[in-house]
DNA sequence: CAATCAGGATTATGATCATAATCTAAATAT
DNA sequence: ATATTTAGATTATGATCATAATCCTGATTG
């Protein structure tokens, strides 16, 4: 079998990418090492040739998920037809995003787990969420100068909260209402043509 | 040892109360049956004299946590010095609530788990969250009639989102900022003296 | 080309888990 | 008072888990 350095890097990245999906779908404790390796087409044995511990993979997978999420947001902003904020809100609170946590925002999928996680996970989330708030602050309508950050904190909290709640209540009218109502409210309150 | 019917009920309730705390602290998958029984001063063996399965205990514990949370909110509203909405927001986004998930709001502590849970958990959360939104809708300043529910959805999403994020980022300035900023924003936007 | 190294498979290891069978003594029922 | 039921303890059971030791095979290094 191939054991070249290039192939090892590929394998490593493949495990991390798969873990980044599986963890978002099943939670940080919801999927085991053997299962992950099988999903990557490998067996358990090789795992510790790539990672010092399961915890190390969790960290790498979180970094990968966050990298993907920032990338996705950047792409979305680049093609923005409507205002960038409205486009972000519509995508974030779309039924598609709600129904596909495995490729979505790690804050929406794993914040609850991070709250019970170790300092390494929490530091990653702190950096990710701070950057996300800064990003939002750059796209909302800011009437009072110096208020952009505060508005962004509120808007981002609403985004993540509505998404998590929409997932928690299971499929149904309430879930759809949460997405649509929070979406409309955010665009009305912070969109380009907002009052205040 | 006592095995009277009254004592069995007491024991049952004690297990459920302890589970309601432990699950909020460690997550729905974060604590085992044996550990829970030991916390209740018992051993594993008796567990299935009280519950058909671990899942059944999860359901009862969630119901208990939700009952406690509604009770607590009712008490808080009764003694409300400030407006009821401001009092709720300040308590919900207080550092004390952030640091004590085991006695706090089940939506804040377990929504992430519920998103990956079964239909029974999700139905409980749907009923709980719907009722919570209705409660909020009754205490916010409602300028436009027919807008109360929508505003309550947004406000509740912001509450839960800010709390979850404040826990996920770990202790530090960002966590405090999330609580304080979301708190101020909610009171400014939906409090008794709100604009719109 | 020979010797070494290392990626990945196979197979332990020991812990932890939910669930269950058996046993006990106390509470209820007859 | 005797018989029956049952709450809870003790002790299996079998699955699943993270981690590790061993081995094989192909890549790397000299």
Residues with Cβ within 8 Å of B48's Cβ and at least 6 positions away in sequence, in order, are none
Q: Is the pLDDT assigned to residue B188 strictly greater than 60?
A: yes
Which whole number is the average pLDDT over A26-53? 97
**A5 closest-nt by C1' vs CA:** D27
pLDDT tens digits along B130-166: 999 999 999 998 778 889 999 999 999 999 999 999 9
At B3 the three-state DSSP class reads coil
Rounded to a whole number, what is the distance in Å from the CA of B42 to chain A's nearest CA? 26
Residue identified by tokens 């709390």 is B163
Residue identified by tokens 């680049």 is A78
Which whole number is the average pLDDT over A159-171? 99
pLDDT tens digits along B63-78: 999 999 999 999 999 8
Q: How far apart are CA A169 and CA B129, in angstroms?
A: 8
DSSP string, A97-120: HHH-GGGS-HHHHHHHHHHTS-HH
Average pLDDT, chain A: 94
**Strand D proximal residues, A:55-94, Cβ < 7 Å:** 55
Q: Is the pLDDT assigned to residue A2 strictly greater than 70?
A: no
Cβ distance A174 to B129 less than 8 Å, yes or no, reads yes
**Per-residue confidence (pLDDT) for residue A141, from 0 to 100:** 83
**Per-residue confidence (pLDDT) for residue A195, from 0 to 100:** 44
Burial class (CB in 10 A: 0-12, 13-18, 19+), A143: exposed
Q: How far apart are CA A173 and CA A73, in angstroms?
A: 28
For chain B, percent helix, then strand, then coil, each to nearest 5?
A: 75, 0, 25
Q: Is the pLDDT assigned to residue B194 strictly greater than 80?
A: no
Least CB-CB distance to A158: which of B123, B157, B169?
B157
Q: Is the pLDDT assigned to residue A14 strictly greater than 90?
A: yes
pLDDT tens digits along B90-118: 999 999 999 999 999 999 999 999 999 99
Domains in chain B, CATH or no CATH each:
5-190 (1.10.357.10)
Crossing angle between the packed helical segments B106-115 and B148-168, to the nearest 10 degrees: 80
Candidates A37, A36, A56; CA nearest to A46 is A37
**Per-residue confidence (pLDDT) for residue B2, from 0 to 100:** 53
pLDDT tens digits along B30-51: 999 999 999 999 999 999 999 9
Buried b (16+ CB within 10 A) or exposed e, B95-120: eebbeebebbbbbbbbbbbbbbbeee
At B165 the three-state DSSP class reads helix
pLDDT tens digits along A119-145: 999 999 999 999 999 999 999 987 788
B3 beta carbon < 7 A from strand D? yes
A43: phi then psi, degrees, rounded to nearest 5: -115, 165
**Per-residue confidence (pLDDT) for residue A193, from 0 to 100:** 60
Q: How far apart are CA B24 and CA B11, in angstroms?
A: 20
Which whole number is the average pLDDT over A59-66? 98
Residue identified by tokens 């969790």 is A58
Chain D nucleotides close to protein (CB under 7 A) are 6-12, 16-22, 25-28
Average pLDDT, chain B: 94
What percentage of chain A carries pLDDT values higher than 90? 87
Residue identified by tokens 């997405």 is A179
Model confidence at A27, in pLDDT bands (50, 70, 90)?
A: very high
B46 beta carbon < 7 A from strand D? yes
Rounded to a whole number, what is the distance in Å from the CA of A47 to chain B's nearest CA? 24
Q: How far apart are CA A11 and CA A39, in angstroms?
A: 12
B134 touches chain A (CB under 8 A): no
Cβ distance B168 to A115 less than 8 Å, yes or no, reads yes
């Amino acid at each position: 079998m191939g054991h070249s350095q290039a192939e090892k890097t590929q394998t490593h990245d493949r495990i991390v990418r798969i873990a980044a999906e599986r963890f978002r779908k099943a939670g940080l404790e919801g999927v085991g090492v053997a299962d992950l390796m099988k999903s990557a087409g490998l067996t358990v044995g090789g795992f510790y040739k790539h990672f010092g511990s399961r915890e190390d993979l969790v960290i790498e997978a979180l970094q990968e998920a966050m990298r993907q999420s920032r990338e996705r947001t950047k792409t979305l902003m680049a093609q923005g037809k409507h205002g960038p904020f409205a486009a972000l809100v519509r995508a974030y609170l779309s039924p598609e995003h709600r129904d596909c946590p495995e490729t979505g925002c790690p804050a929406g999928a794993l914040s609850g787990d991070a709250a019970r996680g170790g300092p390494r996970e929490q530091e990653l989330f702190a950096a990710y969420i701070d950057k996300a708030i800064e990003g939002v602050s750059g796209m909302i309508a800011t009437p009072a100068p110096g208020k952009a950050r505060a508005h962004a904190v509120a808007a981002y909290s609403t985004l993540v909260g509505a998404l998590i709640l929409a997932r928690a209540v299971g499929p149904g009218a309430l879930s759809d209402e949460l997405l649509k109502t929070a979406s409309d409210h955010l665009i009305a309150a912070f969109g380009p043509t907002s009052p205040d």
